[in-house]
Structure 1
Amino acid sequence: MVTRITEGVKVSVDTIYQPEYSNPANEHFMFAYRVNIENMGEYSVQLMNRHWTIFDSNGTKREVEGEGVVGQQPVIEPGNNHEYVSGCNLKTDIGSMKGSYEMKRIADGQSFQVNIPEFYLITPYKLN
C-alpha cells in the first residue's frame, strides 16, 4: 500500500492482479485498486474531478480524466473517509498509475489539488 498526504487529505492505494479477468496470451492484464481518501483536515471537502496517468512497460502512456470517482462526487467530513474500488487494464504485466483529485472545500468553495501517489500494477509471477 502506498500513501500520500496533500493539504490534510490522505490518499492510500492498494492493488491486486485479477487473473480471472485477464488474458495474457492476448496482452490483456486486469488489475483492481482500492483507494481510501481520509480527510485529516478541519473542513469538509468534496471530490470533484480525477486525473490519472497510466503507464505500461512497453512505454504506452494514457491519460484519464472525469468527474468524481466511480460515478460519485463524495463529500468527506473532517475525520471521515471515502473508499472505493476501481480497475485498470494494461497490455503488459507491469505498469503504474499516478494522478490527482480536484477537491473543493465546502466552507469557502476553494478548489485544490490532492496528489495520488504512484502505485505499481504487477502480476504476482513477476515478483518471484
Structure 2
Amino acid sequence: MEIYILYYIYYMFQQKTKGIKISVKTIYNGTIYRGYLPYYAFSYFITIENKSEKTVQLLERFWTIFDSLNNTEYIEGEGVIGQTPIITPNGVYNYKSNCFLLSSIGSMSGKYKMIDTNSSNEFFVKIPTFQLTTTPTLN
C-alpha cells in the first residue's frame, strides 16, 4: 500500500523595480519519484503588476535555482510559460509554474527582461529571492 501525504505550505515574497511589482507565492506539493530518486515538488505563482505609467512587455526570464545539496540550475529563455505578455499601466499578469528539487530546502532568484513598448527601452526587473521548503525553518 502506498501512502501519499500532501502538504500545502504557502509563502509570499514581493519586490518592486522601476514600477513593476513582482509577487511570488510558493506551495510545497509533496514528493514524487522519477525512477528511484525522490524529488520535492513545488509550485510557484507569480503576479506581475505594472504600477508605472508605461506599457511594458516581458521578453525573457532568467532563473537561478539552488537546493541544500549545493545543486544549482540556471534557466533562461523567451517569455514565461510560452507567453511574452504585454502589461498596460495598472495591468496585472499572473502565471503558475513548478520546480522539482532533490532536497527539501531550496530557493529561486531571477530577473525578467522587459521592454517599454513606446520607447523600445529594455530594462530588467528583479524577481525577489524566494524560499522553497517542505516545512517552515528558521535561520
Give the structure-1-normalised TM-score. Answer: 0.93
In the TM superposition, residue 88 of structure 1 has moved relative to its aligned partner by: 0.5
Which residue number corresponds to residue 18 of structure 1? 29
Which residue number corresponds to residue 82 of structure 1? 93
Which residue number corresponds to residue 77 of structure 2? 66
Deviations 1:40-96 (A, max 9, x none): 000000000000000000111110000000000000000011000000000000000
Note if 1:54 corresponds to 2:65.
yes
Which residue number corresponds to residue 118 of structure 2? 107
Letter in 1 for 2:117: I
Identity across aligned pairs (percent)? 42
Question: CA separation in 2, counterparts of 1:78 and 1:23?
Answer: 43
Runs of 4+ with >4 A deviation? none
Of Structure 1 and Structure 2, the greater helix share is in 1
Question: CA separation in 2, counterparts of 1:27 and 1:97?
Answer: 20
Question: CA separation in 2, counterparts of 1:95 and 1:22?
Answer: 16
Note if 1:121 corresponds to 2:132.
yes
In the TM superposition, residue 127 of structure 1 has moved relative to its aligned partner by: 4.4
Unmatched runs of 5 consecutive residues or more in structure 2: 1-11
Number of equivalences: 126
Unmatched runs of 5 consecutive residues or more in structure 1: none
Question: CA separation in 1, counterparts of 2:81 and 2:60?
Answer: 11
SS at match of 2:77: strand
Deviations 1:14-59 (A, max 9, x none): 000111x624972311100000000000000000000000000011
Give the structure-2-normalised TM-score. Answer: 0.86
Rg comparison, structure with higher value: 2
